[in-house]
Amino acid sequence: MSRVLVPLAVLEGESVSPGLVDLLAPADVTVLGYHVLPEQTPPDQARVQYGDRATAALETLTATFEAAGGAADSRLAFTHDRDRTIDRVAEETGSQAYVLPGIAESIDRLLVPLTGDVAADRVLAFVADLIGDREIGVTLFLATDAEADGRLLLEEAAETLAGRGVETESTLVVSEGPLDALGGRAFDALTEDAAAHDAVVVGERAPSLQSLLFGDEAERIAAESVGPVLVVRHSEDSAAASEP
Amino acid sequence: MDTDTPRGGGTNVDNEAPRIEPTVETDAATKTEDAELERTLGLAGGLAIGIGTMIGAGIFVFPGLAAGRAGPAAAGSFAIGAVIALFVALPASELATAMPKSGGGYYFISRGLGTLAGTVVGLSLWLGLVFATAFYLVGFGYYAVDTLAELGIAVGNGWVIPLALLFGAGFTVLNVTGTENAAKLQNGIVALLLSILTFFLGFGGLDALGLVGEPAAPERFAPFGAVPVLTTAALVFTSYLGFAQIATVAGEMRNPGRNLPLSMVGSVVIVGVLYVATIFVATSAFGSERLADLGETAMVEVGRHYLGPIGAVAIVFGGLLATISSANASILSTSRAVYAVSRDALLPRWASRINLRYGTPHVALGLAGGPILALTATGRVTILAEVASFLHLVMYGLICVALVALRRDEPTWYDPDFRVPGYPVVPAVGAVASFGLIAFMQPTSQLIGVAVMVATAGWYVYYARNVTLRGVL
């Protein structure tokens, strides 16, 4: 099974809930403890003062994942830029996905949005690998302005997962306007659905003007639903190409 | 925390040893045994730090003062400053790529020349930044008063110092509590400043060359002779202190082998060209006597001369932004300077503590804030600027010496990505010019500078004479 990166603001006491630990049990987990500093402070200065405390917290977290049966290791980073650090460490560890931890007691059903320009194949393969032979259901979600194409895509996706023994349902939202504008109908429908599920798996998108203005889509979903959000990364090639 | 094992040699009076740990440097991060330190600054960020620190003083405060001393040849003084800065920026770039760590000039000198030189430079650098910040704040005070005047509120120059003090205190508090990412703001300010200046210089330059507008009365280039050109160069050298600030964030710069030399040399070249052009345009607008009468905010009248009220408002606004960005960048650097020496046990370790709530170095910022305000209260623009230059020039000269010392018996760890062209001439010229420029300062400034250095050497003897840093990486 592939590697999943779990970035946590360790020094702010961010932790993982039992549902997420169970969900990630089949995966190799790298816990990335990070601490974001304002630019006045050299990262090394924070490491000198808080390194030990952070390392101790990370050991506890790593042990939690190991107790659930998976292999887990940890990295600790002091940074001015959280997203850059997550990107770099995910790249270096070859992680297929990273997690916005959220809170879930147990995870029985995943929401998997396929809206827009995401690598559906990678997302579905990751979901199937993660679920394995466990009793976890999937709701596929698609918002589109082309109903027929959308229905076809959902059917193909459902077949792919069914072929791996995963039970699926589908939600199709036909929308006229722009598909993922903040507060648009499609996004509202998605966050409503997300709140009704234990966790969400999304494909990473290239940064856009919209994500610069309103924040990353995955983070907006995480903010709206309480549960964990797993972000399946770009393939290595496209990730390297997006490096500024 | 005092739990991890230090490896540096010797201990200070408080029984603390330098904290030196093996690290692996990559282009994206510094990896220590237990943690990674992200490199987050790019080339644009480096240039913004350099230009943002430098531009406030050079263009917005000095033209009047410099023209009064040297006449139109003040442009030559700025050019001399730029050349000296370049001769130092090149060796500094080589050392920075060999040791891409926070601490900058202090780090190179303590590793290349030993603890005594390191202590003197480290503490002098801190004080130099304190003097520079006070100087920028006074400059800010003048522009604040002029801004009020443009808004129709004439308060008079009696308000310069109170306003400078108020904002100095404000910046200090802001730096302790502010956790927003001001780097992006700084980039924006620098971009805005550069566009204001380019527009102004483009128009003023055409006018000055006699292509548009009325021809100006010609004036002798160097009415007071050559010596004032050099003393003026010593005064205005404060306008070039920013490139060394880039070295202090070397540990946070991405792809340091490329970005450090480019941003250090690039920022000196960019601001050097801007300065020389500005002085040329300013001295073409008015005679140098008139400029001298206009004092610290002479540029406002130059703007009014070329572009009418809009020009005056643009320059006043630019001057406010530029002095703010210079003052703020320098206050930030003071805390890095304190951290660099206290990590090496040359100051008590508590001086570099940060608070978990804001993540800011509140002790170091507070330590700098008091002296900055005291110096600002004196309001002595030229003394503040010269002492700041003095203390930086000593460091620049020693950077060049450290480069030669390291190159002569190249240690195995010494592997810079960038090597100075024209070695050993460039560092030799850099060292001689840096020390030489000090000779042209006012006696008062020289006295204060020497007193600071003697005091820091005394601190070394009392506090840290058993600490060894030479060649300890």
- For A122-142, what is the mean pLDDT? 92
Domain boundary among A82, A100, A118: A100
pLDDT of B6 strictly over 50: no
- Record the tokens describing residue B103, joined without a space: 């601490």
Cβ <8 Å between B179 and A38? yes
Q: How confident is the model at residue B214 (pLDDT cuts 50, 70, 90)?
A: low
- For A12-31, what is the mean pLDDT? 93
Q: In chain A, which residues touch B (CB < 8 A)?
A: 11, 35-55, 75-81, 84-85, 88-89, 244
Name all domains of chain B by residue range, CATH numbers in brackets: 44-464 (1.20.1740.10)
**Chain B interface disruption, residue of A30, A31, A32, A48, most B CBs within 10 A:** A48
Cβ <8 Å between B360 and A41? yes
CA-nearest residue to A33 within chain B is B35
List the beta bridge partners of residue A203.
A232
Which residues in chain B are contacts of A48 at CB distance < 8 A? 1, 19, 343, 352
Note the pLDDT of residue B183: 62
More confident residue, B142 or B14: B142
Cβ <8 Å between B175 and A40? yes
Q: Are residues A118 and A195 in the same domain?
A: yes
Q: Does B133 touch chain A (CB under 8 A)?
A: no
What whole-number distance in Å separates Cα of residue A44 and Cα of residue A77? 10
Note the pLDDT of residue A240: 43
Cβ <8 Å between B358 and A46? no
Q: Are residues A61 and A137 in the same domain?
A: no
Interacting residues of B411 by C-beta distance below 8 A, sequence separation 6+: B471
pLDDT of B215 strictly over 90: no
Tell me phi and psi for residue B406, to 5 degrees.
Answer: -70, -40
Q: Which residue range forms the structural domain that includes residue A139?
A: 109-238
Which residues in chain A are contacts of B368 at CB distance < 8 A? none
Q: Are residues A70 and A146 in the same domain?
A: no
Q: What is the 3-state secondary structure (H, E, C) of chain B?
A: CCCCCCCCECCCCCCCCCCCCCCEECCCEEECCCCEEECCECHHHHHHHHHHHHHHHHHHCHHHHHHHHHHHHHHHHHHHHHHHHHHHHHHHHHHHHHCCCCCCHHHHHHHHHCHHHHHHHHHHHHHHHHHHHHHHHHHHHHHHHHHHHHCCCCCCHHHHHHHHHHHHHHHHHHHHHCCCCHHHHHHHHHHHHHHHHHHHHHHHHHHHCCCCCCCCCCCCCCCCCCHHHHHHHHHHHHHHCHHHHHHHCHHHECCHHHHHHHHHHHHHHHHHHHHHHHHHHHHHHCCHHHHHHHHHHHHHHHHHHHHHHHHHHHHHHHHHHHHHHHHHHHHHHHHHHHHHHHHCCCCCHHHHCCCCCCCCCHHHHHHHHHHHHHHHHHCCHHHHHHHHHHHHHHHHHHHHHHHHHHHHCCCCCCCCCCCCCCCCHHHHHHHHHHHHHHCCCCHHHHHHHHHHHHHHHHHHHHHHCCCECCCCC
Q: Are residues A84 and A187 in the same domain?
A: no
Q: Are residues A55 and A165 in the same domain?
A: no
Q: How confident is the model at residue A238 (pLDDT cuts 50, 70, 90)?
A: very low
Q: Are residues A141 and A85 in the same domain?
A: no
CA distances to A66, A83, B146, B328, B340 from B271, rounded to whole Å, are 56, 33, 24, 18, 27
Q: What is the CATH number of the domain that holds A75?
A: 3.40.50.620
pLDDT of A51 strictly over 60: yes
The nearest CA of chain A is from the CA of B309 a distance in Å of 36
Note the pLDDT of residue B39: 93
Q: Are residues A54 and A155 in the same domain?
A: no
Q: Are residues A66 and A176 in the same domain?
A: no
Q: What is the mean pLDDT of chain B?
A: 88
Report pTM.
Answer: 0.86
Q: How confident is the model at residue A221 (pLDDT cuts 50, 70, 90)?
A: confident
Q: Is residue A24 part of a domain?
A: yes
Note the pLDDT of residue B124: 92
Cβ <8 Å between B40 and A40? no
Q: How confident is the model at residue B157 (pLDDT cuts 50, 70, 90)?
A: confident
What whole-number distance in Å separates Cα of residue B375 and Cα of residue A93? 51
pLDDT of B5 strictly over 80: no
Whether the Cβ atoms of residue B268 and residue B89 lie closer than 8 Å to each other: yes
Question: Which of B37, B181, B332 lies closest to A78 in CB terms?
Answer: B37
Domain boundary among A100, A118, A147: A100
Cβ <8 Å between A44 and B251? yes
Q: Are residues A32 and A61 in the same domain?
A: yes
pLDDT of A189 strictly over 90: no
**Share above pLDDT 70 across residues of chain A, in percent, rounded to a whole number:** 88
Question: Which of B35, B335, B343 lies closest to A78 in CB terms?
Answer: B35
How many domains are contained in chain A? 2
Q: Does B34 touch chain A (CB under 8 A)?
A: yes
Tracing tokens 């990295």 back to the chain, one arrives at: A75
Tell how strand A199-203 and strand A72-79 pair up.
Answer: unpaired
Q: Is residue A243 part of a domain?
A: no
Q: Are residues A134 and A56 in the same domain?
A: no
Q: Are residues A221 and A122 in the same domain?
A: yes
Question: Which of B29, B175, B358 lies closest to A88 in CB terms?
Answer: B29
Note the pLDDT of residue A239: 42
Which residues in chain A are contacts of B17 at CB distance < 8 A? none
The nearest CA of chain B is from the CA of A229 a distance in Å of 24
Most confident of A195-204, A220-229, B392-401: B392-401
The nearest CA of chain A is from the CA of B395 a distance in Å of 21
What ipTM does this complex have?
0.84
CA-nearest residue to A50 within chain B is B1
Cβ <8 Å between A52 and B19? no
Q: Is residue A142 part of a domain?
A: yes
Which residues in chain A are contacts of B4 at CB distance < 8 A? 51-52
Question: Which of B34, B42, B361 lies closest to A51 in CB terms?
Answer: B34
Cβ <8 Å between B32 and A47? yes
**Chain A interface disruption, residue of B186, B335, B354, B362, most A CBs within 10 A:** B354
Domain boundary among A100, A124, A155: A100
Note the pLDDT of residue B140: 92
Q: How confident is the model at residue B373 (pLDDT cuts 50, 70, 90)?
A: very high
Cβ <8 Å between B339 and A45? yes
- Per-residue pLDDT tens over the stretch A55-93: 999 999 999 999 988 889 999 999 999 999 999 999 999
- For B30-58, what is the mean pLDDT? 88
CA-nearest residue to A40 within chain B is B332
The nearest CA of chain B is from the CA of A243 a distance in Å of 12
Q: Are residues A155 and A221 in the same domain?
A: yes
Which residues in chain A are contacts of B104 at CB distance < 8 A? none
Whether the Cβ atoms of residue A156 and residue A170 lie closer than 8 Å to each other: no
Note the pLDDT of residue B426: 95
- For A133-137, what is the mean pLDDT? 91
Tracing tokens 């009415």 back to the chain, one arrives at: B223
Which residues in chain A are contacts of B19 at CB distance < 8 A? 48
Cβ <8 Å between A80 and B175? no
More confident residue, A188 or B375: B375
* Element spanning A231, H or E: strand A229-232
Q: How confident is the model at residue B1 (pLDDT cuts 50, 70, 90)?
A: very low
pLDDT of B101 strictly over 90: no
Q: Is residue A195 part of a domain?
A: yes
